Amino acid sequence: IVGGLLNFARKNQVNYQSVNMRELADKSLESVIVPENVKISVSDKTTTPDAVLDIEQMTQVLTNLVKNAVDAMPGGGSIDVILEDTLGDVSIIIKDTGTGIKEEDKSKIFEPFFTTKPIGVGTGLGLATAYGIVKMHKGQISVESNTDPARGLTGTSFKIILPRRKE
């Protein structure tokens, strides 16, 4: 991740290519080690599967988000990766049934070196890198989360909205 962040900071450029979003999601999941007690599903609700973006960088974003989702479910659970159309753009939603993100941490999760993981586990750069890459694509990333079982299913949902074409 550190190498990726440094590389990204040095270049600060996007290598745009046309990509099938379903194939991008599938490729991103291949590099994540998923325990047997975690189930992952990919749902493609797009009418047009293609988008123009930096395949390598966006793969890194999705991989980071899915790894975090796996880490948030030590007892198992499910991760849904949902692709959908959003007013001419494309949305990627990564939703998990993990422990959730505390309300007081939500405003800090995209800051470099912020982590809720134990010392020695995680660098605090995954979400900061994801945020930077999404912004370089002129996109948006948002998070919704629930840590309280009394308010319904716990878990976190990250939503990325990207322009379908290079702007």
Q: What is the pLDDT of residues 56-72, one digit of tens each?
A: 999 999 999 999 999 99
Average pLDDT of the chain is 90
What the block records as the tokens of 117 is 């993981």
Among residues 74, 117, 80, 64, the alpha carbon closest in space to that of 99 is found at 74
In the chain, where the domains are located: 2-163
Contacts for 8 with CB less than 8 Å, ≥ 6 apart: 57, 129, 132, 133
Query: What's the pLDDT score for residue 124?
Result: 79
Confirm or reject CATH 3.90.1150.10 for domain 2-163, answering yes or no. no
Q: Give the pLDDT of residue 87.
A: 85
Q: Describe the chain by its helix, strand, coil percentages, rounded to 5.
A: 35, 30, 40
55 pLDDT exceeds 70?
yes
Gyration radius of the chain's alpha carbons:
15
Question: Does the structure show a pLDDT above 70 at 20?
Answer: yes
Cβ 69 vs Cβ 29: under 8 Å = no
Q: What is the pTM of this model?
A: 0.89
Q: How does strand 77-86 pair with strand 89-96? A: antiparallel
Report which secondary-structure segment, H or E, holds 134: helix 126-136
